[in-house]
């Protein structure tokens, strides 16, 4: 089921067990909305973000990074799922959107 998709991720377990491991160190900007995230935590779950943050690109040294073509509400919900704090009801429609986004960012969750 989709609930296993996020509740069993090692990312969520680490964040709940050790909240200090999730201290934000970069801001992702989606359609003007800002999301503070931890590079190491996100990179551990996503080769996309690992390459973006540590691949030697100009974004590696920026405090704010713009992410295009991604719905900010869906991205926020996906982040909450990764941290194990999502309370949104999962439907077929939003599950498909979340899974597509997880695929786009190559999230290993």
Q: Is the pLDDT of residue 28 over 90?
A: yes
- 3-state class of 29 per DSSP? strand
Q: Are strands 33-37 and 26-30 parallel, antiparallel or unpaired?
A: antiparallel
pTM recorded for the entire structure: 0.76
Instruction: Find, among 28, 70, 69, the residue nearest to 52 by Cα.
Output: 28
d(CA 92, CA 68): 24
Mean pLDDT on 27-47: 94
Q: Is the pLDDT of residue 52 over 60?
A: yes
Q: For 71, phi and psi rounded to 5 degrees?
A: -70, 125
CATH of 2-104, one of 3.20.20.60, 3.30.710.10, 3.40.50.300, 2.40.50.140: 3.30.710.10
């Amino acid at each position: 089921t989709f609930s296993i998709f996020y509740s069993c991720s090692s990312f969520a377990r680490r964040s709940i067990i050790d909240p200090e491991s999730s201290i934000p160190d970069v801001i992702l900007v989606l359609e003007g909305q800002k999301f503070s995230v931890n590079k190491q935590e996100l990179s551990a779950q996503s080769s996309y973000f690992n390459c973006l943050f540590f691949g030697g690109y100009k974004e590696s040294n920026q405090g704010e990074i713009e992410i295009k073509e991604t719905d900010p509400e869906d991205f926020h919900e996906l982040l909450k799922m990764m941290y194990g704090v999502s309370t949104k009801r999962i439907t077929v429609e939003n599950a498909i959107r979340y899974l597509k986004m997880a695929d786009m960012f190559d999230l290993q969750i």
